[in-house]
Chain A
Amino acid sequence: MANTLAEKYAERIQHHLSKYPDKRSAVMPLLYIAQEEYGWLSPQGIEEVAELCDMDPTQVKSIAGFYTMYREQPKGKFWLHVCTDLPCALKGAETFYADLLAHLGIEDGGTTEDGTFTVEHVMCLAACDRAPMLQCNFHFHEHLDMDKMRELLDQWRKEAEAYANKDV
């Protein structure tokens, strides 16, 4: 079986493998690369990472399942992690989150029908002084309210469309 990751991301993978005396330590950075390539940690991605790290696919899958930032299932293009932990909740994050879900017409953890957004609530993201806040894919957005949120969602929808058109 060809290892797509090994071929396509050779340099980045080599960089991570070279950081540690043990290949197994590279499993976390390599899972991020697999997620980037396949959009989620598909069985194919898990097997490729396992091969690269000299691990059993079951072990790799257990690592993927332990952490919140790995996508064990396909998700929307934009994966929103909204902090509703205590400090943010004191600043209205629970109401903000409920409004956001209602605006998108989805439940906690749900994905919009067009596959653009998946929205989940998460624990503290270390930005309590800038609540309400969320993480979209790998980036923080802070001091939010629904006005700002609508603008961000519009912007991301446009990015998703541009990306889809480029793909075709």
Chain B
Amino acid sequence: MNIIFREKDIPNIREFDVYVKHDGYKAFEKALRMKPIDVINEVKASNLRGRGGAGFPTGVKWSFIPQSEPIKYVVVNADESETGTFKDRQIMENNPHQLIEGALIAAWAIQATAVYIYLRGEFWDIAHALDKHIEDARQAGYVGENIKGSGWSCEVYTHLGAGAYICGEESALLNSLEGKLGQPRVRPPFPAQKGGGLYSEPTVVNNVETLANVPFIIMNGADEYKKIGTEQSTGTKIFCVSGHVNNPGNFEFPMGEITFRQLIFDHAGGIPDGKQIKAILPSGGSGPIVPATDEILDTPLTYEDLQKHGTILGSASIIILDETVDITWAASKMTKFFKHESCGKCTPCREGTYWLDKVLDRILRGEGKPSDVDLINNIAANMQGVTLCALGDFAANPILATIKHFPNDFMAHVGGELKAAGD
């Protein structure tokens, strides 16, 4: 079932005419005939959760916006930078109007004056293609002044970043968009509140995939949408599968319909060269790693089921590691990522990632001591919950979860007996 990847059923849906021929912008026109508050309530009732990683209920987020404020913004987070995530790119390349339509519905719902689509700088070609698609929508009267005679005006702009993972964090993204350093803000005030959003105005920040779900919800109603997926994980989810599989790529399924095993072996082609699967990173570098036990492999892919197993679905950037992978090396790769991407604002993250990387390098060079494993575990534990944004916690996960689940991989480098995490 493809709610998002409709290009699989309708070739060239990226073109405005094709999109419109297949009911494109009908949901937006329907929304324009609804009261903004009813649009918010419909999205709330659908239980749509943010697809960027946090899984926050989208309609609830929209309802935080104070309607009395004259200037409000919708910001589309297209900074897709989580290791192993490449779904928003495919949406924008192949079904861009569905994103634009979803963003316009969000803008109507909160009565925004403008939409900014913040793309990572590396999406240069995509941003320029998107400008053309926005122009097509404008020519047809869906963007600009007095949209479809509603008396409401809204502009849609693209904005290119320039290479910084942290700008996917919503408050850092807003700073970056304002021409400041892309560093997180102290909250409250939250982006939805006066003083906390773009140019201090109330702002909704939503991920690309999240907004691409909205036209279906408005067109068919929350009840229809809720028939897809599970009670707590409604709708479809795009699973980005990479690493050691024969057929890496994006796969869209209703949440809860398939398990890890089905995704990896039936759809992503299984593990190359007859190797065994060793571990799964369900949410890129930032979510805790899990060993590929039968219990994990038979877990349905939903927010709630993954949480039961001590990890997260996040943005569903699923990286597969086969039996040849040294988990200590993988932990080091992820640590180097977070060390590079730490914005430097909060001490625990800036210093913690630096020291984790230093000690991990020492371990990998064969110069580590058994106490080094305790040391990195301790550093990581002290990075949790003490930074302005979640990057500090994300950076701790590759260490804490790898040591917990794969102590022997560290043992092999340092010898000695390893204590369980938290001891």
Contact = CB atoms under 8 A, between A and B. Distances in A.
A67 B121 contact: yes
7 contacts: A22-B199, A69-B121, A69-B163, A86-B243, A86-B281, A128-B240, A135-B122
Interface in B271-324: 281, 284-285, 317, 319-321
Given A21-B199, A67-B121, A86 B159 contact: no
Interface in A122-144: 122-131, 135, 138-140
Interface string A135-162: 1001110000000000000000000000
Interface string A50-70: 000101000000110011111
A129 B86 contact: yes
Given A66-B182, A139-B125, A126 B162 contact: no
Interface in B128-179: 155, 157, 159-165, 176-179
A14 interface: no
A25 B162 CA distance: 13
Interface of B: 80-86, 88-89, 120-125, 155, 157, 159-165, 176-182, 199, 240-244, 248-250, 281, 284-285, 317, 319-321, 325, 330, 333-334, 337, 340-341, 343
Interface residues of A, number: 41
Nearest to A28: B162
A26 interface: yes
A69 B122 contact: yes
Contacts of B240: 128-129
B89 A127 contact: yes
Interface string A64-90: 001111100000000001000111011
A128 B86 contact: yes
Nearest to B85: A126
B386 to A, nearest CB: 23
Nearest to A24: B179
A32 B128 CA distance: 14
A29 interface: yes
A126 B165 CA distance: 11
Among A25, A89, A139, A140, chain B packs the most CB atoms within 10 A around the CB of A25
Contact of B337 (A31, A85, A128, A130): A85
A128 B240 CA distance: 9
Contact of A68 (B155, B163, B285): B163
A15 to B, nearest CB: 10
Q: Which of A31, A67, A127 has the largest count of B CB atoms less than 10 A from its CB? A: A67
A27 interface: yes
A70 B334 CA distance: 24
Contacts of A127: 86, 89
